[in-house]
Amino acid sequence: MLRFCSSRAHLTPSRAAWFALGTSVLLSACASASPVAAISSPSPAVTSATAGTSAAAPEPKPLPSAPQCANAAPGAACPDTKAAVSAAPSQPQRESTPETAPAPEPKAVQGGLSRGSSEPADLELAAGDRAYQNDDLAAAKAHYEKARQLAAKDPAPLVGLVRVALASSDVPTDYAAAPKNATVLALLRKVDAALKLDEAYAPAYVERGRLLLILGSAPEALSALDRAQRLAPDDAETQSALGVALLATGKPAEALTRLRRAAELDPDNAERLTNLGTAHLIQGEVPEAVRAFSRAVTLAPNDAKVHGDLGAAYLALNQTAKALPELDRAVALAPDRATYVSNLSYAYFLAGQLELAISTATKATKLDPKLGSAWINLGTALAKKGDLPAAERAYQRALALDPSDPRAKANLAELAEMKGEKHDKRGAAPNAPNAPNAPNATDKK
């Protein structure tokens, strides 16, 4: 049976982390392959609305029409206020307006650097955290710089400036994507300078671990992140960062433990749940993945990624009717994301909508010509339609992108068998010029 492939479920820690991992999750319709870690640019963290209780309304002020107390001693209570008010019907009474309760302080950003105090430097850190979470990097940099000026011996502003600098750069953040990169090495030195100010500052170890992963130094990265979680075991961002690193380095079982803990510590964060769901998928625990993704969708209904991940999980369960609306929603929210479009083509194929599958897969290959799964999806749909030469070209494109991809190899082998059977039925010679498997100019492109 030709392999049709759903693309990736994405693993993305919060915006404060900037670090996002995409892990290949080959679903039941695909041949198994080793997960490939891919760290993508972050999106702003989704946080739940802060729940709070309203302040009690103040006592109404005296009515403006109430007459002054007569013959009252200074500071004494007015004995005839009520009588005077009731005895003045000719004066229209107006309802008093309670004073507005002061707005609550903004909730601290999960994974942020603020310690929650009222110190001026910490207030700047809190403002920087919020700006960073909202992807306003210029404002975040300004606040962190102000915090550094106010507290020169605090490592937190330095770590914040490192986060902003990396997010503002064009450095690829895939695992081992930038070995010996001068920008990353310079940022690593700044993190080390922050640790000299406080060698027990957990967020600095988190950033150090992430930078080392980009450089490809996995053992050192895991060591730094493990040190961070031992210093701050109840910090959700620290647990999440370690879980992401463990997945990137091929340790999904250990990663699942960390990502589950992160979701427990920060249960209303949609991205914690999508991380957890992806780890469940890699472990083959698809129902658990569906539960995590479903909860994430309720928290972030307008996040394309969570809809795409939930749709992919439904495809893994062969629940096409449930997958289609989720994948369609993901594409509507992010029409230029090739992975979502490719997954949608897979769902159309499973639903028997062959022409839609072909046109959607073709669109995915145009959005990202380097997305192998899109070429495989296109090839399989074309083969089903009977256009074997076009299917072969699609599979060859996938194989050229990744010569080790077992899906492309298996599909080409099976396609050769299909073409051979077709020749046998027609009684044609295998290399006849007009036979379907005869190469032509188009095939060679």
Q: In the chain, what are the domain boundaries?
A: 365-445
pLDDT at position 430, please?
35
Nearest Cα neighbor of 363 from 345, 385, 384, 390 is 345
Instruction: Please check whether residue 275 is in contact with residue 240, taking contact to mean a CB–CB distance below 8 angstroms.
Output: yes
pLDDT tens digit sequence for 254-288: 999 999 999 999 999 998 999 999 999 999 999 99
Chain centroid to CA 282: how far? Answer: 17
Residues 244, 272: Cα–Cα separation, whole Å: 11
pLDDT at position 240, please?
92
Torsion sign across C-alpha atoms 414, 416, 422, 424: negative
pLDDT at position 385, please?
94
Instruction: Please check whether residue 33 is in contact with residue 405, taking contact to mean a CB–CB distance below 8 angstroms.
Output: yes
Residues 36, 7: Cα–Cα separation, whole Å: 12
Under-70 pLDDT residues of the chain: 1-107, 421-445
pLDDT at position 248, please?
87
pLDDT tens digit sequence for 290-322: 999 999 999 999 999 999 999 999 999 999 999
Is 3.40.50.970 the CATH number for 365-445? no
pLDDT at position 289, please?
97
Provide CB contacts within 8 A for 4, sequence distance 6+: 29, 30, 346, 349, 350, 376, 377, 380, 381
Residues 316, 335: Cα–Cα separation, whole Å: 22
Residue 29 tokens read as: 């319709």
Q: Which pTM was predicted?
A: 0.68
pLDDT at position 427, please?
47
